Amino acid sequence: MRAWLLLASALGVAECQRAPAEDFSSRPVAPSAASVASPPASTGPTATLPPGRCLLPTPERPPPPVRAGPAAGCPEDPEASQAAPATPLPVAHVTFPDAIGAAIEAQVVRSPHDTMRGLMYRTSLGPDRGMLFDLRTREDHQFWMHNTCIPLDLLYIEDDGFIVGVVENAPTLNDQPRGVGCPSVYVLEVNAGWSRQHGVRAGQHARFPGTR
């Protein structure tokens, strides 16, 4: 995590880092030949992918299922005993115009502390709830499931709302970095399986305050 590890140590929350080996610095990422190909017809009602646009298409077959949360051995929240209540996070209404009826109420995180913490230690997440990470830099972000007790889908989203890729069924308490090989500015975390159940795929768009 380089710079993030130093920041986490300064804050005294090294155990709460959300993404491994990532400094969130802005750097260009060149799409590979495979990633700029037009999405398959089954991706949904999207326009032909513009040249140079990076995309990891959603596969036709779903990934293997993962065990539902909360995970056995979920660690205790080290901040649960703090005397002062945490300031409630703002909430954004996220819609998906290419998947009729799909919507998420997502808590929005922007600060270094909230970004590192994410959904760690939580033992449940409402069926149409999620967390939206406003990372403010465009790069190939990598997230992990460290101290995360509920399985998740992760949607990687450009600043115009274009979904460049979806990681499905990320398992709990897992330290493997997960990304899609394409730059994004936002990452939306939802319950595992939500994306496929609602027809939300890479190559579609998400709409929420901040997308242009």
Residue 66 lies in a domain: no
Number of residues assigned to the chain: 212
Residue 123: strand, helix, or coil: coil
Number of domains forming the structure of the chain: 1
Q: 65: cis peptide before it, omega within 30°? A: no
Local confidence band at 50 (pLDDT 50, 70, 90 cut-offs): confident
Residue 29 lies in a domain: no
Question: Using one digit for the tens of pLDDT, what is the confidence trace for 59-68?
Answer: 999 999 999 9
Over pLDDT 90: what percentage of the chain?
70
Question: Using one digit for the tens of pLDDT, what is the confidence trace for 184-207?
Answer: 999 999 999 999 999 999 999 999
Residue 60 lies in a domain: no
Question: Using one digit for the tens of pLDDT, what is the confidence trace for 133-186?
Answer: 999 999 999 999 999 999 999 999 999 999 999 999 999 999 999 999 999 999
Residue 42 lies in a domain: no
Residue 55 lies in a domain: no
Residue 31 lies in a domain: no
Residue 70 sits at φ, ψ, to 5 deg, of -75, 150
Residue 156 lies in a domain: yes
Residue 3, C-beta contacts closer than 8 angstroms, at least 6 positions apart = 23, 24, 25
Q: Is the pLDDT of residue 14 over 50?
A: no
Give this prediction's pTM: 0.80
Report the C-alpha gap between 144 and 136 in whole angstroms. Answer: 19
Q: Please report, as a single letter, which amino acid is at residue 144.
A: W
Report the C-alpha gap between 49 and 179 in whole angstroms. Answer: 20
Residue 1 lies in a domain: yes
Host domain of residue 122: 1-23+88-212
Give strand pairing partners of 155. 166, 188
Contact 96, 128 (CB under 8 A): no
CA 1 to chain centre: 17
Q: Please report, as a single letter, which amino acid is at residue 17.
A: Q
The two structure tokens encoding residue 176: 């493997």
CA 113 to chain centre: 16
Which CATH number covers residue 158?
Answer: 2.60.120.1140
